[in-house]
Each structure stands twice: as structure tokens, then as C-alpha cells.
Amino acid sequence: MASAPPLLRRRTLLGGASLAATSLLASGCSLQIRSRPDPTIGPDTMLVAGDKGTPTFTANFNPFHANKRTAASILYEPLIWINPLDGELVPWLAESWDQPDPQRIVLTLREGVSWHDGTPLTGEDVDYTFRMLQDFPANDVAGAWGRIDTLEVDGRTIAITLKSPDSPALPVIGQTVIVPRHLWEGVADPSTWRNEEPVGSGPFQLGTFTALQYTLDRFPGHWQASSIDIEHLVYPAASEELDLVTKGYDWAYAYMSDVENTWMAANDANRYWFPPGGIIGLHPNHDVAPFDDVDVRRGLALALDGRQVAEVAAEGYMDEASQSGLLLPNQEDLLDPSLPERGIIGQDTQAAIAAFEKAGFTYDGTTMRTPEGEPFTFAITTANGYTDWLRAVQEVQRELGAIGIAVDIDAPQPAAYEANLSSGDYQVAVGSSNGSDAFQGFSNLMSGEYYVPVGETSQNNRIRYRSAEADELITRYRASVDEAEQSEILHALQRLFHTDLPVIALYYGGLWGLYNQARFTGWPTAEDPYAPLQTYGSSPLLVLTRLRRAQKEAS
Amino acid sequence: MRYFLQRGGWFALTLWAAITLNFLLPRMMPGSPADAAIAKLSQNGPVTEETRRAVEAQLGVPDGSLIQQYVDYLRQILSLDFGVSYAFYPEPVSGLVAQALPYTLVLVGLVTIASFVIGTLLGVLAAWRRGTWMDALPTVGGSFLTTFPYFWTSLLLLFFLGYVAHLFPTFGAFSATTQPGLDWGTVVDAVYHAALPATTMLITSLGGWVLGMRNAMITTLGEDHVTFAEANGIPGRTVALKYAARNAILPNLTGFGMALGGVVGGSILVEQVFGYPGIGFLLFNAVTGQDYPLMQAIFLMITVSVLVANLLVDILYGILDPRTRR
């Protein structure tokens, strides 16, 4: 989950309406909204729009719950911190690790780590955490026990044997957050427990909590305390887009329409950085003809202008996606150099028509006809309310219309969209795939072990793709702990992704970081991309160690 | 007596139908609660099969046949135990509703009463002084404001008075830094936060009462007993209020009873715009989160109160107007 990319999606209709009203009024009546920071917030306190009330907060700091307060993910710390930009592993509670063979992982726990109540964090806590996840599978969100066979803790050494040769299990197991045994052991059911008074090991501990706002205070006993320059974090429940613009937030994570004229115009020190976090593409259902035919998929890919789709869908903030399956430029060093144009497939209408003709289709200049002679029409499924996806589909509809293919748009509610994709009840869907962990991205999408026929549900490989070559590469990668070999297999997977087109990459979904550099400096940027500006997950743990107060003496 | 028994019978039948529909409707929505939770999670990136299994285990998504679920559901209603919410897991539904209900009852309840009283009085005035500006202003102004959708009015008020002029708070029912308690400061704070949502609902609902009352009153004013009272030299105010308005108010009173019954449903759009933690907002979250238990509890509450209000109005009518008993 730590490696999961958040993608450009608008959630509520009303949010859109209010924002539309803002920009309309801002431009039409030259009424400029400016931020008015609260003067009582000191220079050592950061205002974070990281947790949205619904509309109020319930005190749930169980880090394994889907409905937890966002800050629960930084009150507790993982063994390994994973960079959501490129999947880089950074030692966190585990100071080092080793994979002696593809079926074993040995982690060494850091010394001198302490819980917020002063109790030292030891191997017993790690042991307890994993046993608890085993006993309460509802808490095992990353599925660690789907991969672990045995786990032995001896002092600071955690020795794990995996069920099968499975070297990519390291990030899945490493992202597990550790909870204190002495406080959790007495809890009857940790999978329903709210943990209202959290005691973690993170650089911040819970300060005050009300239904509309909570604060975190710096934990002086943290193992990295010398790198933490911020005293307090404030998380208000009121973090609608208008609040972000007007209330003087230091850090926010949101996709804001027309960011130049909203966020940037509100304050001179406001900045944004939108690196790619995932690939938005067309996900054909490979169990539905004619999408099982690679020539049809290639025809679709060639008929589409990814740059134009990105421009229309993401207002030009994101680039067209590479058909290598990688996030560029984040994962530039993993890219197979033999791919033409860094894997980007440009629009070539003539070649598209040729590909369709190779698949038996005919094009008479106005209508594309299937081998049976019927006009070629199909439906693209997207989720209702994800406005950027809808704009992307409309652009796809327009571009395919130009070569005589009629596309219908089917936009069920998000829950129904998920159900349709899981059960294979669709022809082509807009979806997000890939992400920071390049291998995981390929294997979730292309591995035959996740294949289920239409009608049965699966969360992985919802496109129902089957390829002996992909399976062989995935198995080989899992059985390898050699970096050179892994890199060579990743190159082969990219080439397969590029030629066999399991999904048709359109554009990158962004990580929508907004920050203000007046009071705090050291933010990650395109020049220094050390972490994304996510306010959720473990990501802020690293960012918070790098930020510095701009005005020291004023405090 | 037969009239009241008949009303009671109809009430029981409607109640059963409503309760059953309440059971069936959420289950006819496409997608399961787990799908809704996954949709929410996948805002942050692709979700794996392992995560889906953990979510399903957390939610304990309904199993068993539909009939078994129905029997369980009826048993739960009788014991007022609505289980655990899916969208707010692991919060119990009853706790969530108990938390949200007071805000809605106070805000929407008071506004509905105020709107009825003010609107009806304005309607009386408009009918009594018909043709003058005292008629034109409330009638035309009221119908003009009523045509504005709730959310549009509330967005305008929120934007200009809240975000541009900074006169009113923009979110929530109380300040972020206060712990809600029962002291004078909290009350002032709460009233301050309720001002904009209350104004929105008041100005958009006033027109209906004004028009209803005015039209009923004008008909009554033309009746013989009013002319007779005027001919007898009874003061105009007495004629207006005691002879005309008292008779004309019946339809408006029916509407008021129904409106009061609907109060518990809250006002989804207004609560949503102002981030007001009432039943409307809760219902919105329940529906988007495919939260069957929460939806059922709220819908049941709304249905039952509307039905009860209906029954009370029916009974009241039977007492007030003997003709309806036949």
C-alpha cells in the first residue's frame, strides 16, 4: 500500500461545483481569493490539509484500519520506508536487511528506538505485530502472511522464510508498521479496536483531539529527533479546496483545477509539484473479443494521441504515459534503453488503420467494420464522478471516432465500477495501473496466477490477461536476488508491455502536492525528488525529517 | 372510532411496506460495500487482492440468503440494534445516528418552525392587504427565493459571506478548538456556526408557506361568515386572525406536520456545503459508502417519522374537521 500511487480523481460533485464557482467568480468578476493565515499559528507549527472530516473526525488511530485517521500512518513507523515515486527502499525501523536466497529475508532492527511512553521498541514488538497480523487477517492489509511461511525473532534479528522463492516480498513485508506489544497485547480484538489514545514510535505523538481538528507534537525521544525541526502539526477537518486556498495551509495534497489561478494566486509563496504516481490507461478485457487480438489493441494505441488526452484530462499538468509501464522520469534508471522513444507510442492514424486491417477489420473512410462486417463499436467503462477520467474517455471517443470507431461511455458509480472490473463485466475500462514498484505493477496486471474467468472476481489482473512469456519472466524475477538479473528481466517485461499492450497507456496520474515555502523550507521538488508530497501513508515520515523552519529566532 | 381504526390499520401496513422496501432497496444498488471501500482506497492507487480480502474480513460483508438477512434485519429493528457501520467501521450505527441527530433536530427543526410561523404570518398579511406592496413583496420575493436551489443559495452565501467577507465560519457546527460542552460560550459558538445554513434554509423555504397561506386565506376571506363579521363591525385584526386565518391554516398545518416529520432526514445539500455534522451529511456518506446498515437506520428513521407525522395529522384532521370522518 505504501507504494500505491494516488491518482487524479475528483471525488465530489459539490467540491467541483464550489471550485467552479470560485474560478468563475475569480476570473469573471476579477475577484481574487487570497489566503488569510491564522496569526495565532506560530512559526514552529505546520498546518496540514492531510485528513478530511466527514465532516467530523472519529478518533480511530488503528494503523491497520481503512478508516483510520491519516496521521496514524506517521504515529507508527514501518520497518522499511518505501518511496512512492520510484519504489526505493529506505532503512527505517529496520536498519538493514539481507536476502541470502530468494526464499529468505533477514532484517536487523534499529537500536535505540523508543515508544512515545518511553518503553524501548524491541524485537518482541516486531514478533507481536506479525503474530497479531497472522491471528487477525483483517489487519493484514498488505497481505504479509500470504507470503510468509515462518518468522523467527532473535534479539534484533528478524529471520523470515517465505512460502516460495519470492524476492519481491521484501517491500510487501517491510512496509508493515510495528505496534507496541505492551499496549496491544491486552486488546481482545485488534481488528475492531479504535486505539483512541495511540502510543507509537513516530517522530510525532498525538497532542489534542477534537471532532474538527487534531494536533501532533514533536516526540523528543525519537531516534531521528535531531532532524525534526517542526514542533507541532495541525490537522483541521475543514480542508475543502476553498479552505486550502484561503486558510494559509503549509502543506496540502489535492488536485485543484487551474492550480495557477487558484492555489498559486492565493499566496506568493505557494508552490506545487505533480510528479507521476501511476498510469491511467485503457484496460481492455482480454476475455472479450476482439480485445484479445493484439493487432486490435495496437490499432487502438496507434489511433490515440496520448499527449492530447493528457492535455484534455489533466489540464496539461501531466505527460503522456510511456508504454514501458514505468513512471517517467521517476524510474528512468529502470528503463530499457532499447525501447524507441522511451516507450512512448505516438499517434499514427495510417499505421492504426493498417493494424486493424491486419486483424481482419475493414475501413472505408467513414466506418471501421469488424471481420463480420458490422460497424465496430464498443463501450468504455469509467467511474462516475472521476471527472478527469471522463474527460480522457471523451477525448478517446473523439479520436477513435475520427477513424470510424464508435465508442459508448458507461459511467456507473465507483462501487459498481469496481464490481464490474473485478468480475470482468466490461469491454474496455479506464483504469490506473503500475506505480512505484515496477515489478509489482507488472505482476499485478499480467500474472496468470491471478487469472479468473469472467464472472469470478479478482482484484489483480482484472484485465484477464494470459501470457506464457509474462508468467515465465515473473517466476524468474521472483526467484532472483541478483540485481543485474532482475534489471534484465524488468527490461524484458517492459518490452512485452510495449509490444503486447496488455493495457494501453494514456497519461500519468499525478501526485498532487501543494506546499507553501514561506514558513518551512526543504520541500521535495522536481530538482530534488526525494519523496512525493503525499500527506497520507508513511510518506510524510521522510519529508518531515527534511523540512526546516524558515524563521528560527521568531519562535 | 372506525375512522381512527382504519387510519391505524393503514399506518401499520404502510410501515411494514416501508420497512421491507428499506431492506430491499440498498441491496439493489450495484456493487457491494467492499467494492465501495475499495473504490475509496483505490483513490490512492491500485488495490491488491490481499487488501480486498482484509477489507472484506473487516466489514464482515453480509452473507446468508436474502431471507435469512431479512429475518435478521427484522429482529434488529425490534431491538433497535442496527449493527456496525461499513463506511465508518468500526463505529456502531446507533452511535453515529445519536451523534448527528441533535444537530439536525436543532438546526432543521428550529428553521422549519421559524419558517412556518414567519411564512404563515406573512401570508395572512399578504392576503389581508392584497394588492398593496405588503402583498407583492412577500409573494413575489418569496416565490423568487424559492426558485433558487438550496445548494446554489448556500454556495453563494458561503462564498461571499464566509470566504470573501470572512464574516461567518465556513465549516462545521462549532469551532475547531472548542470541545463541545453545555456552557454559554459553546451555545454562542454553535449559533454563530448555524447562522449561514439556517439563513439558507429559511429564505428558500419561506416562500412556500407564504403562498400557501395567502391563497387559502383569500378563498376564506370571500366566504359569508367573514363578510358577516365585517358587517357587524368587528375590528379588522380580529376578523383577519380569528375568522379567516384560523380556518385557512388547515392546509398549511398539514404541510407543517409533514415538514416536521421530514426534519430528521436533515438537509443533505445544506449540511454538505457547510460541513454540518447532521443526519443529511451522514446519509450522504452512507449512500456513497454503500453502507447498508447506516442507510437502513436513517431511512427507517425518516420513514417512521414521516408516517407518524402523517398519522398525527390524519387524527388531528378527524378532530378538527368532522367531514373527513365519513
| Chain A residues in contact with B271 (beta carbon < 8 A) | 55
The pLDDT value recorded for residue B289 is 78
Cell numbers representing residue A496 in the block: 512485452
Residue of chain B with shortest Cα separation from A239 = B171
B325 confidence band (pLDDT: 50, 70, 90): low
Residue A269 and residue A152 in one domain: no
Residue A290: asked if its preceding bond is cis (omega within 30°), the reply is yes
- Closest Cα in chain A, distance from residue B116 (Å): 29
The pLDDT value recorded for residue A250 is 95
The pLDDT value recorded for residue B43 is 66
Q: What's the rounded Cα separation, in Å, for the pair A70 and A89?
A: 22
A55 to B277: CB separation less than 8 angstroms, yes or no: yes
CATH number at residue A213: 3.40.190.10
Angle between helices A306-313 and A387-401 (to 10 degrees): 140
| Domains identified in chain A, total number | 3
| Chain B residues in contact with A40 (beta carbon < 8 A) | none
Per residue in B82-103, pLDDT (tens digit) is 888 888 888 889 899 998 998 8
Residue of chain A with shortest Cα separation from B164 = A33
Q: Are A392 and A428 in contact (CB under 8 A)?
A: no
The pLDDT value recorded for residue A29 is 47
Partner residue facing A9 (CB), from B31, B43, B151: B43
Could you tell me which residues are beta bridge partners of residue A280?
Answer: A432, A507
Q: Which residue has the higher pLDDT, A548 or B318?
A: A548
Q: Which residue stretches of chain A have pLDDT < 50?
A: 1-30, 554-555
Residue A425 and residue A412 in one domain: yes
Q: What sign does the CA torsion over A3, B87, A207, A118 have?
A: negative
Residue-range definition of the domain harbouring residue A460: 278-510
| Chain B residues in contact with A212 (beta carbon < 8 A) | 171-172, 174-176
Exposure of A502 by Cβ count < 10 A (0-12 exposed, 13-18 middle, 19+ buried)? buried
Q: What's the rounded Cα separation, in Å, for the pair A61 and A76?
A: 10
Q: Are A534 and A84 in contact (CB under 8 A)?
A: yes
Final residue belonging to a domain, choices A185, A211, A235: A185
Residue A479 and residue A536 in one domain: no
pLDDT at B266 over 80: no
- Closest Cα in chain B, distance from residue A151 (Å): 19
- Closest Cα in chain A, distance from residue B275 (Å): 5
pLDDT at B63 over 70: no
| Chain A residues in contact with B107 (beta carbon < 8 A) | none
CA atoms within 13 A on the CB side of A490: 23
The pLDDT value recorded for residue A23 is 47
- Closest Cα in chain A, distance from residue B185 (Å): 16
User: Which residues, other chains included, contact A8 with Cβ-Cβ below 8 Å and sequence gap of 6+?
Assistant: A255, A280, A313, A314, A318, A388, A509, A510, A512
Cell numbers representing residue A51 in the block: 485528513
- Closest Cα in chain B, distance from residue A164 (Å): 17
Partner residue facing A143 (CB), from B48, B272, B275: B48
A459 to B52: CB separation less than 8 angstroms, yes or no: yes
B183 at interface of A, judged by CB pairs closer than 8 A? no
Q: What's the rounded Cα separation, in Å, for the pair B248 and B320?
A: 12
Residue of chain A with shortest Cα separation from B286 = A54
Residue A21 lies in a domain: no
Residue of chain B with shortest Cα separation from A23 = B159
Tracing cell 385584526 back to the chain, one arrives at B237
Residues 202 through 261 of chain B touching chain A, CB cutoff 8 Å: none
Alpha helices, DSSP H only, in A7-96?
13-28, 72-75
Residue A241 and residue A353 in one domain: no
B177 at interface of A, judged by CB pairs closer than 8 A? yes
Residue A350 lies in a domain: yes
Residue of chain A with shortest Cα separation from B154 = A18
Residue B292 gets which letter from DSSP? H
Residue A429 and residue A536 in one domain: no
pLDDT at B142 over 60: yes
Prediction pTM value: 0.86
The pLDDT value recorded for residue B62 is 63
Q: Domains plus CATH for chain B?
A: 33-79 (no CATH), 93-325 (1.10.3720.10)
B16 at interface of A, judged by CB pairs closer than 8 A? no
The pLDDT value recorded for residue A552 is 67
Residue A242 and residue A269 in one domain: yes
Q: Are A336 and A427 in contact (CB under 8 A)?
A: no
- Closest Cα in chain B, distance from residue A462 (Å): 10
ipTM above 0.85, yes or no: no
The pLDDT value recorded for residue A1 is 33
Partner residue facing A237 (CB), from B172, B180, B271: B172
Helix (H, G, I), strand (E, B) or coil at A109: strand
Tracing cell 483483517 back to the chain, one arrives at A138
The pLDDT value recorded for residue A531 is 95
Q: Are B49 and A458 in contact (CB under 8 A)?
A: yes
B147 at interface of A, judged by CB pairs closer than 8 A? no
Partner residue facing B176 (CB), from A65, A213, A536: A213
Interior angle at CA B95, CA A135 and CA A536, nearest 5: 55
Cell numbers representing residue A123 in the block: 524485537
CATH number at residue A111: 3.90.76.10
pLDDT mean over B220-228: 88
Interface A-B: count of C-beta contacts within 8 A = 187
Residue A15 lies in a domain: no
The pLDDT value recorded for residue A4 is 36
| Torsion angle (degrees, nearest 10) of CA A352, A355, A356, A361 | 140
Residues 275 through 294 of chain B touching chain A, CB cutoff 8 Å: 275-277, 281, 285, 290
Residue A356 and residue A252 in one domain: no
Residue A2 lies in a domain: no
Cell numbers representing residue A257 in the block: 483545477
Q: Are B135 and B127 in contact (CB under 8 A)?
A: yes
Amino acid letter for position A308: Q
Q: Are A314 and A8 in contact (CB under 8 A)?
A: yes
Residue A31 lies in a domain: no
Q: Which range, of A62-66, A281-285, B15-19, B171-175, averages the lowest pLDDT?
A: B171-175
Q: What is the helix, strand, coil percentage profile of chain A, to 5?
A: 30, 20, 50
CATH number at residue A500: 3.10.105.10
Partner residue facing B39 (CB), from A53, A383, A460: A383
Final residue belonging to a domain, choices A185, A211, A237: A185
B257 confidence band (pLDDT: 50, 70, 90): confident
Tracing cell 389581508 back to the chain, one arrives at B128
Residue A516 and residue A381 in one domain: no
Final residue belonging to a domain, choices A185, A218, A237: A185
B304 confidence band (pLDDT: 50, 70, 90): confident
The pLDDT value recorded for residue B307 is 86
A192 to B46: CB separation less than 8 angstroms, yes or no: no
Residue A12 lies in a domain: no
A7 to B273: CB separation less than 8 angstroms, yes or no: no
A143 to B174: CB separation less than 8 angstroms, yes or no: no
Partner residue facing B36 (CB), from A67, A193, A415: A415
B170 to A67: CB separation less than 8 angstroms, yes or no: no
- Which of B47, B58, B158 to probe the A interface (max A CBs under 10 A)? B58
Measuring CA to CA, which residue among A342, A321, A307 is closest to residue A278? Answer: A321
User: Which residues, other chains included, contact B311 with Cβ-Cβ below 8 Å and sequence gap of 6+?
Assistant: B7, B8, B11
Task: Name the helix (H) or strand (E) containing A108.
Answer: strand A104-109
Residue A401 and residue A284 in one domain: yes
- Which of A22, A387, A440, A459 to probe the B interface (max B CBs under 10 A)? A459
pLDDT at B290 over 80: no
Could you tell me which residues are beta bridge partners of residue A195?
Answer: none
Residue A445 and residue A326 in one domain: yes
| Chain A residues in contact with B93 (beta carbon < 8 A) | none
Residue A29 lies in a domain: no
Residue A36 lies in a domain: no
- Closest Cα in chain A, distance from residue B219 (Å): 42
Per residue in B20-46, pLDDT (tens digit) is 888 888 777 777 777 877 777 776 666
Residue A226 and residue A172 in one domain: no
Residues 46 through 65 of chain B touching chain A, CB cutoff 8 Å: 46-55, 57-58
Give the burial string for B54-72 (b: 16+ CB within 10 Å, else e): bbbbbbebbeeeeeeebee
B127 at interface of A, judged by CB pairs closer than 8 A? no
Residue A428 and residue A518 in one domain: no
B176 at interface of A, judged by CB pairs closer than 8 A? yes
- Closest Cα in chain B, distance from residue A284 (Å): 16
Per residue in B239-251, pLDDT (tens digit) is 888 888 888 888 8
Give the burial string for A317-344 (b: 16+ CB within 10 Å, else e): bbbbbbbbbbbbbbbeebbbeebeeebb
| Chain B residues in contact with A435 (beta carbon < 8 A) | 45-46
